[in-house]
Amino acid sequence: MAVFVDTHCHLDAPEFGDEMPAIRARAAARNVALCVIPAVAAANFARVRELAHAQDDAYALGIHPMCTGDATDEHLTKLEAELAARRDDPRLVAVGEIGLDFFVPGLDADKQAHFFHTQLQLARRHGLPVLIHVRRSVDQVLKHLRQVAPDGRWLGIAHAFNGSAQQAQACIALGLKLGFGGALTFERALQLRRLAVELPLDAIVLETDSPDIQPQWLYRTQAQRAAGEPQGRNEPGELPRIAEVLAGLRGIAPEALADATTRNAFSALPRLSALMGASVDRLRRA
């Protein structure tokens, strides 16, 4: 049975309200065996951990670059304490979502860099992979990765990757996998589609970034929204259909893509592999 891992989905987001049991059941019915739920701020460390345990999923702890405006060094201290306290929790699989964002206006670049660099150091100290936000910032992200571990390689994922082929190869050279999701389903995303086809298959993992980065079939334009059509909400159950699009672009069977990207997820986030057996058993019983 081909199974999927959603390596990045914000299931604690308020958009999901109290619908989580139904959302997770839909994903399971479509063979999404595991979801990785990253924190974005110290305030939701407990929530992502509780969700992961309640749903037999996985989680990551970190401070998102878009949340650094309200963050303080006390939050970094809290993160370090949480990583130490949860060191033996098999469902804690990474430090994330961390990184740099040079797309959103008004963010303090120096403060982002301070939080990112410090969180990379914490990841190395605690022996955990990283889930990295790389929007308009791949070169700067690479610089920090090399500074923190100049002689080492990294485990983890460059989330929602949309850089150049050269930047992709630089990430891969450091050991990172590249996350692809709903954005590649748009026919106009020519560069992203070309990259998703030309990269080695062992470099790719799948993600939804739920509830965001809707695939084409859920997206509504501004004109459609103005006319009263609601914006579609992304969720992990969309992952197999996203995978079908990528498999078609690459000219391989969806089952082969599922198998490869699941192996790649285990490579990027090694603790996931120990969780998979029980998850697959649940899918078979469902």
Mean pLDDT rounded to a whole number for the chain? 96
Q: Taking each helix axis from N to C terminus, what angle separates 20-29 and 45-55, rounded to the nearest 10 degrees?
A: 50
Q: What per-residue string of b and e applies to 218-236 under the rule 16 or more CB within 10 Å gives b?
A: bbeeeeeeeeeeeebbbbb
**pLDDT 10s digits, 107-165:** 999 999 999 999 999 999 999 999 999 999 999 999 999 999 988 899 999 999 999 99
Let me know: does 27 contact 235? Beta carbons within 8 Å: yes
- Report the pLDDT value the prediction gives residue 181, as an integer from 0 to 100: 98
**pLDDT 10s digits, 49-93:** 999 999 999 999 999 999 999 999 999 999 999 999 999 999 999
User: Taking Cα atoms as reference points, which of 220, 219, 211, 208 lies closest to residue 182?
Assistant: 208
- Report the pLDDT value the prediction gives residue 204, as an integer from 0 to 100: 98
**pLDDT 10s digits, 218-251:** 998 888 888 888 888 999 999 999 999 999 999 9
How many Cβ atoms sit within 10 Å of the Cβ of residue 30? 17
* HSE-CB for 108 with a 13 A CA cutoff: 11
- Report the pLDDT value the prediction gives residue 263, as an integer from 0 to 100: 97
Which domains does the chain carry? 4-285 (3.20.20.140)
* Cα 65 from Cα 148, distance rounded (Å): 18
- Report the pLDDT value the prediction gives residue 152, as an integer from 0 to 100: 85
How many Cβ atoms sit within 10 Å of the Cβ of residue 202? 12
pLDDT band at 1 (very low <50, low <70, confident <90, very high): confident
